[in-house]
Chains A and B, each alone.
Chain A
Amino acid sequence: MAELLISISIPDWLAHTIAALVQCGLLLAIALCSAAVGIWLERKVSARIQDRLGPTRVGGKFGWLQPPADGLKLICKEDIIPAAADHILFRIAPYVCFCATFCVFLALPFANGWVAVELNAGAFFLLAVAGLEIFGVILGGYASGSKWSLYGAMREAAQVVSYEIPLGLCVVVVVILTGTMNLVEIGNQQAGWFFNWHIFHDPFTFVVFWVYVTCAVASSNRAPFDLPEAESELVAGFLTEYSGFRWVFFFMGEYASMFVVSGLGALLFLGGWNGPIPIASLLGLTPDGGDVFGWIGNLLGMCNFIAKAFAGMTFMIWLRWTLPRLRIDQVITTCLKYCVPIVSAMLAGVMLWSFFLPGGLILHVRSRYVAQPPSAVQSRAESSITAEGGCATRNTMDIR
C-alpha cells in the first residue's frame, strides 16, 4: 500500500504513515468484530444452556446488534474514578490490557500469507505479547485502591504466570514438530487432509492439544479459571471499580484474547486455515493457479480459520456456563502438578516420535499399507523425511 501511495507522488513518510494507519484500522476492526461476535455468542449460547432466549430484539430476531447496543449504553455511563484510586494508572490500565491483546493480532495469520507482519518468530511473539495483558490487569487492580481489586490482580498474576509455562511448552511441541516458529509456515505444513493437522500427528500431540486447551482457558481467565474476576468471591475482582468505557476496554480485551488463544490453537493444532478436506487445492484455488485463484483460496482459508477460532470460543463459553469455579490452590495445582509434567512428558514423547516416525501416525500407516498415498501427503512425507536424517528437531530456526 505504501508503494502505491509513493507511486502517486505522496512523500515517503506520509505514505508509510497512511499505510500503517489503514492497516491498524483494519486490524482494529477485526479485533473489535471478533470481540463483538464473541459477546453476542456468549449471550446466545449461555441463554440456550440456561433455557432462556437471550437477546431477541436489538437488530432483528437474533439480537445481532446487542453488543453495539451494550457498548453504546456503557459509553453513556458516568465515568467514575474512586477517590482512593491512583488516577493515572487507573486510566492507563484498560488501554494496556487492550493494546496487548490487539498487538497479538499483528502476528496472527488468517490465511496463507494473510498476516499483518509475517514474523519468523511469530509463535514466540504471540505468546510474549499476549502475556503482557496481565500488566493491564495488575495495574488496574492495584490502582483501583480497593482490596477486592487487589486480590483480583494478585490472583491474575499468580495464575497467568503459572499457566504461561505449560502454554509455552505446548507451543514448543509444535515448534519441534515443524522446525519453525513462523506461524504461516506452521499453518502451511498442515495443508492437505485433516490427518495432516498436528493434533492427529501422533498420540502425544493429541494429549498436548487438550493441555493447550486447559492452559488457553486459564490464561484468558475464563471459567472454570476465572478467579481474577470471581464475582461470587471478589465482587468483580480487578474490574470492581471500573465502569463505562474503561470497563468496555477490559471486556473487549478479554473477548479478543479468547479469539486469539482459540485462533492460535487452531493454527498450531487444527490446521489453521486448512479445512479438513483440501477443497481449495482440489479446485486449484492456490497461488500457483494465479493471483485471483490464490486470493479466493485464501478467502476460503480465512473462513476456515475464523470458523475454527469461533468453534474454540464456543467451547470456552460452553465450559464457562457448565462448570463451577476452581479454587486458587486447585488452579495452581492443576497447572504445576498436572499440566506441566504432562506436557513435559509429551514433549519428550513427541521428540522420540518425530525421530522414529517423522511423518506422523496416520501418514505412517498409510504409507505402509496403502499403495499410493495422495500427492500432497507424499510430498510432505518426503520433505520431513529428507529433513536432515528424518529428525525435524534438528532444523535450524531462523529468528529474525
Chain B
Amino acid sequence: MQAERAQSDTVEFDVRTDEMLINMGPQHPSTHGVLRVVLRTDGEVVSEVTPHIGYLHRSAEKIAEKLTVRQYLPYTDRLDYLAAMNMNLGWALTVEKLLGRRVSEKTRHLRVIIAELNRIASHLVAAGCFGLDLGSFTPFMWTFREREKIVDLFEEICGARLTYSYLLPGGVTAGPPDGWFGRCEAFLDQFDPVIDELHALLTSNAIFIKRTADVGVLPPEMAIDYGCTGPVLRASGVDWDLRRDGEPICTEMYDGYTWQVIAPTGGRYPDDHPYPPVPPEAVVGDSWHRFFVRMLEVVQSMYLIRQGIEKYSADDGELDKPIKIKEKLPKGEAYLETEAPKGQMGFMIVGDGSAVPWRVRIRSSSFCNISPLPELCRGVLIADMPAILASLDIVLGEIDR
C-alpha cells in the first residue's frame, strides 16, 4: 500500500510548464467557509493540494472545561452549524452515557424525528452547494427553499433557526407545539416531489454526470484508512452506519424503526428506489456516488420521521425533563460516537466528580473526511477541486472546533 501511494505521488504530464502555487481561500467562494487550500498547479492540472485549517478555531474543547455539561450545549450548536440538532444529540447522548441515564420512549421518538429532520436539512445544503460548486445556481436556491421549511419547523419548536440547543442531556427544553406534527407531515408530503425535481436537475443531468462520475474516487480501503465516515464512507461501498452498527445507546434510539443503510455495496444500491439509475460512467466512491448516497439518505430519513411521528403520537408517556444545570458528573470518562449527517461525531467527557468536565475531546467527522483531499485531488483539473471538496461536504465549524 505504501509503495503504491508513493508512486501515485507523481502526476504524469504530457507537456510540462512552469508550476504555479495558488492560494485558494480562506476567502474563496467555494471553500465552504474559511478553508484555505494551497494548490500546486501546472496549467490547469493540479499536482498537489494542501489544505490549511484553523481559521475558525474557537477553543471549543477548552471552553468545555469551564462550563457544566448543560451550559456547554449551545457551543455544540456551533460545531456543525448546519446540523446543530445532531450535535446537540451527540453531546446529550454522551452525557447520558456518562451519567448512566436513559430517556423515556416518548423523548426517544422525538429525538429521532428532530435528528432526521436536521439530517435532511444538512443533506439539502450539501446537495445545493454541490450544484453551486459545479456552476449551477438553481439547485442551491431550491434546496435552500426546502431547508427553510425545516428551519421554520425548528423555529416553532425551539425558537432558534440555526443554533437550536434543543436536544438537551436528559430530555428536551419543551415539547413541540400543537399541530406541529401535522405541519411536519405536510412538509414531508410536499417534499416528496421536490426530490424528483432535484434528481432531474442534477443526478441525471448529462453535464453533472460528466463532472462528477469517476472524479475523486475514494476506494473503500483508503476511506477506512483516513477515518472517513458518514455518506463519504458509505459512498465508497462500506456498509456502515452508527445508527445501526453503533453503541447500544445509539442503536436503541432506532429500535423498532424500519429503514435501510444506503451504501452501494458491490456497486449496487437497493433497487427499490424510484430515482435515476447509476450512470455507467460512475465508479463506486466517486463524487457522483457521494451525492447520490446523500439524496437516498434523505428518503430514508423521511421514512424514519413518518414512523417517528406515528410512534410519538401512539406513546402515552411523558417527555423527560433535562438534567439540572449544575448536575454533578461522576468520576470517569465516556466516549460516544453518533451518526451525524456528515459522519461520525464523537464526544469524550472526562468527569472528576464536579459539575464541570475535567476534559472534553471532540472527534470531528469533517476533519477526517477532508483529510483524503490531497490524495483525491492529485492530478485533477482545477475545476474538479471544488467539486471534490463539495462532495466531501465539510463544515469548517466542525473541523476547526
Q: A-side interface residues toward B, CB under 8 Å?
A: 46, 49-52, 147-148, 151, 155, 223-224, 226-227, 230-235, 321-330
Determine whether the beta carbon of B382 is less than 8 Å from that of A233: yes
Q: A323-B207, A326-B211, A327-B381 are in contact. Are A232 and B138 (CB under 8 A)?
A: no
Most buried by A among B20, B22, B201: B22
Interfacial residues of chain B within 14-31, with CB under 8 A of chain A in the complex: 20, 22, 28-30
B173 at the interface (CB under 8 A from A): no
> Which single residue of chain B is at the shortest CB-CB distance from A147?
B22
In the assembled complex, which residues on chain B have CB atoms less than 8 Å from the CB atom of A235? 28-29
Q: A326-B210, A328-B381 are in contact. Are A224 and B20 (CB under 8 A)?
A: no
B136 at the interface (CB under 8 A from A): yes
Q: Which 3 A-B pairs have the closest CB atoms?
A: A325-B135, A324-B134, A50-B141
- How far does the alpha carbon of A224 sit from the alpha carbon of B134 in the complex, in Å? 10
Q: A50-B141, A324-B207 are in contact. Are A232 and B381 (CB under 8 A)?
A: no
Q: A224-B135, A226-B135, A324-B131 are in contact. Are A232 and B205 (CB under 8 A)?
A: no
A232 touches which of B22, B44, B134, B201 (Cβ 8 Å): B134
> Which single residue of chain A is at the shortest CB-CB distance from B137?
A321
In the assembled complex, which residues on chain A have CB atoms less than 8 Å from the CB atom of B207? 224, 323-326
| Distance between B168 CB and nearest chain A CB, rounded to angstroms | 36
> Which single residue of chain B is at the shortest CB-CB distance from A231?
B29
Most buried by B among A234, A321, A324: A324
B383 at the interface (CB under 8 A from A): yes
In the assembled complex, which residues on chain A have CB atoms less than 8 Å from the CB atom of B116? none
Q: B-side interface residues toward A, CB under 8 Å?
A: 20, 22, 28-30, 44, 131-138, 141-142, 145, 201-202, 205, 207-208, 210-211, 381-386
- How far does the alpha carbon of A72 sit from the alpha carbon of B202 in the complex, in Å? 37
- How far does the alpha carbon of A155 sit from the alpha carbon of B383 in the complex, in Å? 12
- How far does the alpha carbon of A51 sit from the alpha carbon of B142 in the complex, in Å? 8
How many residue pairs, one in A and one in B, have C-beta atoms under 8 Å apart?
81
- How far does the alpha carbon of A46 sit from the alpha carbon of B202 in the complex, in Å? 17
| Distance between A46 CB and nearest chain B CB, rounded to angstroms | 8
- Chain A's interface: helix, strand, loop or mixed, by majority? loop
Contacts A324-B134, A324-B208 known; list 20 others, CB within 8 Å: A50-B141, A147-B22, A151-B44, A151-B382, A227-B383, A230-B135, A232-B29, A232-B30, A232-B132, A232-B386, A233-B385, A324-B207, A325-B211, A326-B207, A327-B211, A327-B381, A328-B44, A329-B381, A330-B210, A330-B211
In the assembled complex, which residues on chain B have CB atoms less than 8 Å from the CB atom of A46? 137-138
Determine whether the beta carbon of B44 is less than 8 Å from that of A324: no
| Distance between B31 CB and nearest chain A CB, rounded to angstroms | 10
- How far does the alpha carbon of A327 sit from the alpha carbon of B201 in the complex, in Å? 18
**Could you list some 9 contacts between A and B, CB below 8 A?**
A46-B138, A230-B135, A231-B30, A231-B135, A232-B29, A322-B136, A324-B135, A325-B207, A327-B210
B141 touches which of A51, A234, A324 (Cβ 8 Å): A51
Q: A232-B30, A323-B205 are in contact. Are A50 and B142 (CB under 8 A)?
A: yes
- How far does the alpha carbon of A360 sit from the alpha carbon of B20 in the complex, in Å? 55
| Distance between B42 CB and nearest chain A CB, rounded to angstroms | 12
- How far does the alpha carbon of A327 sit from the alpha carbon of B383 in the complex, in Å? 6
| Distance between A257 CB and nearest chain B CB, rounded to angstroms | 20
| Distance between B103 CB and nearest chain A CB, rounded to angstroms | 39
Determine whether the beta carbon of B211 is less than 8 Å from that of A324: yes
- How far does the alpha carbon of A77 sit from the alpha carbon of B201 in the complex, in Å? 37
- How far does the alpha carbon of A231 sit from the alpha carbon of B385 in the complex, in Å? 13
> Which single residue of chain A is at the shortest CB-CB distance from B141?
A50
| Distance between A338 CB and nearest chain B CB, rounded to angstroms | 13
Determine whether the beta carbon of B138 is less than 8 Å from that of A49: yes
In the assembled complex, which residues on chain A have CB atoms less than 8 Å from the CB atom of B20? 147
In the assembled complex, which residues on chain B have CB atoms less than 8 Å from the CB atom of A230? 135, 383
Most buried by B among A223, A234, A235, A327: A327
- How far does the alpha carbon of A276 sit from the alpha carbon of B220 in the complex, in Å? 59
Determine whether the beta carbon of B142 is less than 8 Å from that of A324: no
| Distance between B205 CB and nearest chain A CB, rounded to angstroms | 7
Determine whether the beta carbon of B141 is less than 8 Å from that of A322: no
- How far does the alpha carbon of A230 sit from the alpha carbon of B211 in the complex, in Å? 14
| Distance between B135 CB and nearest chain A CB, rounded to angstroms | 3
- How far does the alpha carbon of A233 sit from the alpha carbon of B41 in the complex, in Å? 13
In the assembled complex, which residues on chain A have CB atoms less than 8 Å from the CB atom of B205? 323-324
- How far does the alpha carbon of A224 sit from the alpha carbon of B145 in the complex, in Å? 24
> Which single residue of chain A is at the shortest CB-CB distance from B381?
A327
Determine whether the beta carbon of B137 is less than 8 Å from that of A50: yes
> Which single residue of chain B is at the shortest CB-CB distance from A146?
B22
- How far does the alpha carbon of A327 sit from the alpha carbon of B386 in the complex, in Å? 12
> Which single residue of chain A is at the shortest CB-CB distance from B28?
A235
Determine whether the beta carbon of B136 is less than 8 Å from that of A233: no
In the assembled complex, which residues on chain A have CB atoms less than 8 Å from the CB atom of B385? 233
Determine whether the beta carbon of A321 is less than 8 Å from that of B44: no
- How far does the alpha carbon of A224 sit from the alpha carbon of B202 in the complex, in Å? 14
| Distance between B44 CB and nearest chain A CB, rounded to angstroms | 5
> Which single residue of chain B is at the shortest CB-CB distance from A330?
B210
- How far does the alpha carbon of A326 sit from the alpha carbon of B384 in the complex, in Å? 10
